[in-house]
Structure 1
């Protein structure tokens, strides 16, 4: 079975969360390549300079220096084709405001609670 996506950009400052998410993605045949970036600023720079061209992004909400929603503000300013990129907000946040903001954001496909599970992944793109 072919992977659903070619390149995944995982943006999360937490090493353990990245490890778990990577293992779930690798075991699911969800994506061919996984690029892990522990800083939203580094992710923006990689997208801006074209060194990373994901078709799916898993984005944490709470990170130092630039959080997920600040990332989305900067992402909006980048001149790339965003129509083929799915962004999943992946967070341990239970704040209803975070969930509402992700629902209202035009780039967020879905809000997913951490940790990512095989079941949640299967429900993303049936």
Structure 2
């Protein structure tokens, strides 16, 4: 892996998905630090108070309490200095074309990625 981010934030409510994705990110040396949040609500609060300053985010779409799009609405309300993420990837198992289209229209989403994240996908992201 050629690119390496300082802090990668993984937001997903599924423990198994987090475990697998984190292992792939770690083995690819994708980021110096990988932070996992199982709640979008907790993740946005951690960003808001400055506890986490991610330069890349992998965001699940379907989560309880706050879904990925609701997270992005809250992210949009943050001050510019809190919006440290250079890239946000929607990482979802959704096959709904509406979700893919809505992601492509969101100014913060760099790319929609279907789960599971793979080494091949990471290589394509760095190309």
Which consecutive unaligned segments of at least 5 residues does structure 1 have?
none
d(CA) in 2 for partners of 1:80, 1:124: 25
Kept in 2: contact 1:3–1:32 (CA 8 A): no
Structure 1 Cα separation of the partners of residues 93 and 85 of structure 2: 26
Q: 1:3 to 1:32 in 2, by over 3 A?
A: farther
TM-score by length of 2: 0.94
- Cα deviation for residue 84 of structure 1 reads 4.9
> Number of residue pairs matched?
126
Is there any run of 5+ residues in structure 2 with no aligned partner, and where? none
> Aligned residue for 2:51?
51
Query: In structure 2, the residue corresponding to 1:121 is in which secondary structure?
Result: helix
CA-based RMSD of the aligned residues comes to 1.4
d(CA) in 2 for partners of 1:84, 1:61: 17
Alpha-carbon distance between aligned partners in 1 of 2:15 and 2:56, rounded to the nearest angstrom: 20
Task: Report the Cα distance in structure 2 between the residues aligned to 1:67 and 1:46, rounded to whole angstroms.
Answer: 16
Aligned to 1:124: 125
Report the Cα offset of residue 50 of structure 1.
0.4
TM-score by length of 1: 0.95
Query: Who is 1:106 aligned against?
Result: 107
CA distance in 2, matches of 1:80, 1:60: 23
